[in-house]
Structure 1
Amino acid sequence: MIINKKTMITKRKNPFLTYYYPNSLLADQFQTIQTNINFLMSEKMTQTIMVTSPEEGDGKSTLLANIAVAIAQQKKKVLLIDSNLRAPALHEFFYTSNTHGLTDVLSGRMTLSEVVHHTEIWRLDLLSSGSIPKNPVELLGSKIMKELLVKVKESYDVIILDSTALIKLPDTKLLASLCDGVLLVVKNGKTKLQSASEAKKMLEFAKARLLGVVLNQ
């Protein structure tokens, strides 16, 4: 399924178009994606959503942040998890510290309540990645990560995870199998058809459910 056929998103310096410019055309596009996600969530049991792309540089982090804002504006409690343990970016969007985060929870050093950030956007919380570990694959594939995703479902309506690119690293394939669904972001003029096809096959091999594809421009 392709969400809204080919939904066109343009990058801007300010990542939160849906919050600061709610009446803009681009904010409308994010709202359209949010509406489609809501439909999928009501149709099937979809609460944890991973957003990934075939390769780096496809704009997935900006896109998922705006989707999270759009969902929060619909009076749903949202948790953003930066599970990109190699090149995390979400803490920069929210101007928060990344000293502690997901890696501390997965290693047992801290609890979720100690590291989660309550952002300026009502109902939207952020779990940043924390310090970059030496063993990201081991942490993301751990029993604790699986238990964490089950636990946060009790407190949040929607959990959205940022991840590494799909093709070159094993991290995302492990994580995809733990989530209820996956959104694949491809970039117009950059992502090759072969890469997109390979990414789709990898998700199928991981037995992940592909919710849709978003074309980013």
Structure 2
Amino acid sequence: MSLFHRTQKQSTDTMDNGAKLITVAHPKSPISEQFRTIRTNINFMAIDKPIKTLALTSANVSEGKSTVTDNVAVVWAQTGQRVLLIDSDLRRPTLHATFSKSNQRGLTTILTSGNNSVDLREIIQSSGVENLDILTSGPIPPNPAELLNSQRMRTLLDTVKSIYDMVIVDVPPMLEVTDTQILSRHLDAVVLVVKQEQTQKLAVKRTVELLKLAHANLLGYVMNDVNADGDAAYGYGYGYGYGYGYRENTE
């Protein structure tokens, strides 16, 4: 029996059609500015220890994790920094659909290769957004957790950190599978995406507990799908919060 009961049906829209890149379609919109605020806040929290690998996760599916991740990657690239966006959600990948790219080869191609070395230039693709490259998931494997916990995955992260200014990873929801808990300990920071009026407080609490057990550096949370003045035309909004709980007012 599931510990956290969800009353809403899991949506497959992002898997089928990709995430909405508001930061590309409407870069000067209030929502795009919110994503830039998220980027700025993360940078402020990296003063003592630079953050070069960042993951955004959620408690459960259909809470906007991939949409937030992809738009944060875009605004980071818009600063002129070289950014790599990796789809490590090896069960419900979306990155290839978002950027209309092939997913025949990707992360799983690298992790399952029998060769001692892999030419990343043959697998990493240009997103079409300046300064932003993408590494899609590749074919869905039967053993995602084992692949993400492999030495080859850690070697890949070390390699791309030396090439790119920022590496942003789209990871699976925390309470669905163990993949993110395994991977988070090898990343510089994690941000939790919380969907207003959907994500349960108990689910947030359990997610934080699991990240602490993994010794992950949890920076805070992004409140997703916020009803805010001026955002109604786009149907959603974003706010950023520090800490591990809900806030009644988003910034």
Deviation at 1:16, TM superposition (A): 1.6
- Is 1:186 matched with 2:191? no
1:172 matched residue in structure 2: 180
Deviation at 1:38, TM superposition (A): 2.0
Q: Bigger shift: 35-44 or 48-57?
A: 35-44
1:21 matched residue in structure 2: 26
Query: Which of 87, 93, 98 pairs up with 1:88?
Result: 93
Q: Is the 8 A contact 1:41 1:47 kept in 2?
A: no
1:136 matched residue in structure 2: 144
2:48 matched residue in structure 1: 43
Deviation at 1:14, TM superposition (A): 7.1
1:125 matched residue in structure 2: 133
Q: Which has the higher contact order (CA 8 A, sep 6+)?
A: 1
Per-residue CA deviations over 1:104-152 (Å, capped at 9, x if unaligned) read 1011255322110111111100000000001111100000000110110
Runs of 4 or more, structure 1, over 6 Å off, are: none
- 5+ residue gaps, structure 1, are 1-10
Normalised TM-score (structure 1): 0.91
Q: Is the 8 A contact 1:164 1:172 kept in 2?
A: yes
Aligned with 2:134: secondary structure? strand
Which is greater in Rg? 2
Normalised TM-score (structure 2): 0.79
Q: Between the two proteins, what is the percent identity of the paired residues?
A: 41
Q: Is the 8 A contact 1:52 1:60 kept in 2?
A: yes
Aligned with 2:28: secondary structure? coil
Deviation at 1:40, TM superposition (A): 2.5
Aligned with 1:95: secondary structure? coil
Size of the alignment, in residue pairs? 206
Structure (1/2) with the larger helix percentage: 1
Deviation at 1:168, TM superposition (A): 2.4
Deviation at 1:19, TM superposition (A): 1.9
- 5+ residue gaps, structure 2, are 1-13, 226-251
**CA RMSD in angstroms, aligned pairs only:** 1.5
Aligned with 1:168: secondary structure? coil
Tell me, in whole angstroms, the C-alpha distance in 2 between the residues paired with 1:37 and 1:193.
Answer: 23
